[in-house]
Amino acid sequence: MKKKLFNSLLAAFLVCSSTPLFVHSTFAASIDGAEAQLSSNESDTKTLGVFTTIPDEAELQRQEQYELDSPVAWEVDQDGNKKEVPYIVPNNPNLIHSNSFSDANYTYVFEGWALSDHKQDPKRFFVDKITVENRTSSPLPLKYIQQNSVTSSWEVGANIQAEAELKVKFLASLKATLGGTFNKSKTTSSSTTVEAGPQNVKPGYSASYTKYRSGGYGKGQASWRKYPKNSASWVGMYYTGESGWAVNENATTITLNEYKL
């Protein structure tokens, strides 16, 4: 009798105790799922890694290839005699006009621009970079979202920079030979759009997305008629060898680089 009573009590205890254990297990699973979903949602709007608009040393070294040739200048008089002369840098705003500039003794009136060499480079202008260094034991996501607006500016010779008509001719010559639209500058605006990735970064590795804006290069000869100041009688032609990189308004590139830590 006692044995039957003990067995009945034991069975009742097991039934009652199993119910809270089962409920607790279900509750814990629900919390874990909610946390996982929250983490997933947060990862859609947040970007891991270090974002910068400042080029590092390696990028600065890479950009050395874009250094412009030193400008040169020469004159040809009315008898056809040619001689090298100093390159004049127009630096007095009061002596620079829409199609001419002056120094102490002469006025130089823009005559024309002849393009002799040209090329395009999709990685000419550094925009920004985002890097993830994975020092954990699990993969980490890397994705590119432009977090700040960045303005890319052209790099050109002093006369292209200063003389309005030469500036127009230079940009037009790039458009005619390379296609696309080129300008003095272009702002790449910040965004919430994921433009690249996500890319899984393996444990023990560093990876980065770098964004560039394309540029167009032109090299050629500019010419001016040379007049003594306050005179309408020209005395010869003044020529300069000019070059520069202009900004492509419509072309950007994002590259992925990865290396072991």
How many Å apart are CA 256 and CA 200, to the nearest integer? 12
Residue 109's region, left for phi above 0, alpha for psi from -120 to 50, else beta, is beta
Q: Is the pTM of this model over 0.85?
A: no
Q: For residue 20, what pLDDT band results from cuts at 50, 70 and 90?
A: very low
Specify the pLDDT at position 10: 41
Please write the tens of the pLDDT for every residue from 25-61: 222 222 233 333 333 334 444 567 899 999 999 999 9
What single-letter DSSP state applies at residue 105?
A: S
- Per the prediction, the chain carries an average pLDDT of 83
One DSSP character per residue, 211-237 reads: EEEEEEEEEEEEEEEEEETT-S---EE
Q: For residue 9, what pLDDT band results from cuts at 50, 70 and 90?
A: very low
Please write the tens of the pLDDT for every residue from 93-138: 777 777 788 888 899 999 999 999 999 999 999 999 999 999 999 9
